[in-house]
């Protein structure tokens, strides 16, 4: 029983990181209709940018904030310079996906060209251990969980209680109608990529903090967890991605505790395959997301 509780605790901590990434991934698709596979490589970029700032003896949480801003700007530039021109030229949904896969590979090896293929580490950033009711967390894990909760609550308030949030939801439902109603959809798309890029940056640094060592494959290897979480919750649904991240995180850690850590990736794949077979639209999907995937 103690092993199960400890696994659930680690799963919650892992799920917080997955949720950070999966929500940004889902928001990008929900608003801009782009399934961005480059997202994993952007997380890797965030980890190495954070590592560079950490060498300046900056506080790791300040590093996370600064890195999030940098990756947010890089995300907007990436969309403006590559994806939007492709879409204006009539590139298909699948064609854009292929472009993001290619861009992700290029970004990976640009990172290798600058920092090499050797493993790096954020060092001893975990802090002291906190135990309660057989749950065991490090202070870093607790801060990451708290940060994720605050960001998710902030996203909820943004989407439901602000003018720009309503404009985002209108753009997600029907961009043409939203534009006809006076919404500047181009700016909404830019804001979406800025927001999702910030979540990507935070997730990349959080993942690097909780990983013993990492290399240029960090984000790409973690991408399957985020995709599984997004598909579980309903691709394009940020609230579903939050729940999906928690489920995938707990399930993978339980598998690692009772069988082998090698099964953690397998569990993510199993969840993804089962959802695609049984309920491909996800647990919390809407008709809009379903129609987009069907049209693609």
Whether 118 and 215 have beta carbons less than 8 Å apart is answered as yes
pLDDT at 183: 84
May I ask the CATH class of domain 2-289?
Answer: mainly alpha
CA dihedral for 172, 177, 182, 185, sign (positive or negative): positive
List the domain boundaries for the chain. 2-289
pLDDT tens digit sequence for 65-94: 999 999 999 999 999 999 999 988 988 989
pTM of the full predicted structure? 0.87
Cα(118)–Cα(110) distance, rounded to whole angstroms? Answer: 14
pLDDT tens digit sequence for 110-141: 999 998 888 988 877 666 777 766 677 788 88
**78, 79, 166, 170, 212 from 163: Cα distances, Å:** 26, 23, 5, 11, 42
Cα(98)–Cα(75) distance, rounded to whole angstroms? Answer: 17
Cα(25)–Cα(18) distance, rounded to whole angstroms? Answer: 10
Residues in the chain where the model's pLDDT stays below 70: 1, 125-127, 132-134, 236, 284-296
């Amino acid at each position: 029983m103690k092993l199960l509780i400890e696994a659930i605790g680690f799963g919650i901590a892992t799920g917080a990181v997955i949720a950070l990434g999966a929500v940004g991934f889902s928001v990008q698709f929900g608003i801009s209709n782009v399934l961005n596979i480059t997202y994993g490589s952007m997380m890797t970029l965030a980890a190495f940018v954070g590592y560079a700032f950490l060498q300046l003896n900056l506080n790791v949480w300040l590093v996370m904030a600064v890195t999030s801003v940098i990756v947010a700007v890089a995300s907007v530039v990436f969309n403006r310079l590559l994806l939007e021109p492709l879409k204006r030229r009539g590139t298909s949904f699948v064609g854009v996906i292929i472009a993001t896969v290619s861009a992700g590979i290029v970004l990976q090896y640009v990172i290798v060209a600058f920092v090499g293929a050797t493993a790096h580490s954020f060092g001893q950033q975990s802090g002291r251990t906190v135990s309660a009711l057989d749950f065991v967390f490090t202070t870093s894990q607790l801060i990451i969980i708290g940060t994720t909760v605050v960001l998710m609550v902030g996203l909820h308030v943004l989407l439901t209680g602000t003018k720009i949030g309503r404009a985002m939801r209108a753009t997600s439902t029907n961009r043409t109608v939203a534009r006809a109603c006076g919404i500047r959809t181009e700016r909404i798309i830019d804001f979406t990529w800025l927001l999702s890029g910030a979540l990507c940056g935070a997730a990349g640094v959080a993942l690097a903090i909780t990983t013993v060592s990492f290399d240029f494959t960090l984000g790409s290897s973690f991408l399957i967890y985020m995709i599984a979480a997004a598909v579980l919750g309903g691709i394009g649904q940020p609230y579903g991605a939050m729940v999906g991240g928690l489920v995938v995180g707990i399930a993978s850690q339980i598998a690692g505790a009772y069988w082998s850590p090698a099964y953690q990736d397998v569990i993510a794949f199993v969840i993804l395959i089962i959802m695609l077979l049984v309920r491909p639209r996800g647990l919390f999907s809407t008709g809009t997301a379903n129609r987009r995937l069907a049209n693609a």
